[in-house]
Amino acid sequence: MSAIAPKFRFSYFLKSILDNVFWIVTLFTLIGIPLVMILLFYIELPVINGKKLLDPYLALTTLADPSRQIPMLKSIIHSDFFRITAFPGFGFAALLAAATIFIERKMLAKLQLRVGPFYCGKVEGILQLMGDGLKLISKEIIIPAKADKPIFWAAPVLFVATAAAFVSLIPVASGGWVVADVDVGLLAVFAVIGFFPVITVLSAWSANSKYPFIGGLRALHQMVSFEIPLILSVLGIVILTGTLNLTEIVQSQDTYWWIVFLPIGAIVFFIAILAELERIPFDLPEAESEIVAGWLTEFSGMMYGLVQLGSYVKLYAFAALFVVLFLGGWHGPMVWPPFPEEIITNGITMGPITVHLPGLPLFDQQMLNDVLWFVIKTMGVIFVILLPRGVFPRIRIDLLLHIGWYKLIGLSFVNIFIALGLLYAGVLGPGGIL
């Protein structure tokens, strides 16, 4: 019997869970299923092969018939909702962000000869992240007494929303696997990035506390000054490809990656990414040894969790942008095995039963291969972004601004001149040799 909850009995716990399950099943049977049946008569569903996708009269047989489920799954996968929430959009990014947090903690521990998360989930602390998430959700949200409440509440949500908007512009695989395939994608990325300093400094101001305000001002200096080399360093690619669409930029790297021809631009872009993401060695806005936690100091509970989620989603988005711009996006050799033909032609045979599944495969081989290469490259870039945290100390703010304003801007102009030289020499670009 624990000291925290003295009345706790495992049997009571089981009883309460079974009680809830009983009521959920009862209510779903009495209200849920009739409601779904009624709704199905009113929803316009797509017609496939002359049949409605989900016939209301056959709604329950669908549960037992895989040949009816696969078209439904496919239509869900190709809907905008799925794109925005799950695959190339927020869910995918959040999953990679969660993996990033775990990898960061373990890798940092190994670099510093520690163990890192170890006990949660038996195997190398694999459930630590879930535990942290549960803790953050269950904690109380404390708001400072003199805080500006509307802005303070809105800031974490806006931060996550801006990061999600950034993610929605990143193409993940060929064949239009991108949420928003806009003609001016690269400019849209920079327009979205411009919101981060606003949100940061507003949340820092609204907490009405010294440490967040100092952190917010530092974040503002850092982000605004590093946006300039960030934009200038990718101009070389825009000059050589003649487009701002991210999908077309990836398609232009079919044979060679831009990092081969524009290494200076890639280095400048990478350093600017580190500064925009507030990663060590540029983590002055949340310098924990000087100003508690910087602009995150007053956040508690799930508000802090949201800001962390947003910053790791932003980390994924910047790494993916680096892959898209410099590392050839999804291009790579075909390593994904083809879908077995006999499942399509003969079906799956299990003893006396043979199941025919028309409509398979759900994803074609090319798309899966693209996603595999994209994820491998993105995780590689994320790894390189995480690595300095175990190696470098934090630099001073005057050094930071000096690097940003003098060296990186100069180097990005050098990069632009290299790109112009390649263009006018007739090596690359429209009508070039390569």
Q: Interface residues with other proteins (CB under 8 A)?
A: 148, 151, 182-184, 187-188, 190-191, 193-195, 197-198, 201-202, 205, 213, 217, 220, 224, 227, 242, 396, 398-399, 402, 405
Q: Minimum Å distance from CB 399 to other proteins?
A: 5
Residue 97 vs 188, nearer CB to other proteins: 188
Q: By the 8 A CB rule, do 167 and 318 touch?
A: no
Which helix or strand (DSSP H or E) is residue 121 part of? none
Please, are residues 423 and 240 in contact by the beta-carbon 8 Å criterion?
A: yes
Nearest approach, Cβ of residue 184 and other proteins (Å): 5
Pick the closer one to other proteins by CB: 109 or 224. Answer: 224
Total number of residues shown for the chain = 434
**Minimum separation from the CB atom of position 291 to other proteins (A):** 17
* Closest to 329 measured CA to CA, from 105, 171, 161, 159: 171
User: C-beta of 152: minimal distance to other proteins in Å?
Assistant: 12
SS3 297: coil
Q: CB-wise, 227 or 370, nearer to other proteins?
A: 227
Nearer to other proteins, 157 or 182 (CB): 182
Other beta carbons within 10 Å of 333: 7
Q: Which is nearer to other proteins, 161 or 379 (CB)?
A: 161
Q: Which is nearer to other proteins, 44 or 398 (CB)?
A: 398
Would you state the structure tokens that stand for residue 393, as one six-digit string? 């100390």
- Residue 295: CB minimum distance to other proteins, A: 13
In the complex, least distance from residue 407 CB atom to other proteins, rounded to whole angstroms? 10
DSSP per position, 175-226: TTB-S---TTHHHHHHHHHTHHHHHHHHHHHHTT-HHHHHHHHHHHHHHHHH
CB of 400 to other proteins, least distance (A): 10
Question: Which lies closer to other proteins via its Cβ, residue 106 or residue 218?
Answer: 218
Nearer to other proteins, 383 or 405 (CB): 405
Q: Which residue, chain included where needed, has tokens 């089981």?
A: 14
| 8 Å CB contact between 222 and 282 | yes
Minimum CB distance to other proteins, residue 120 (Å): 40
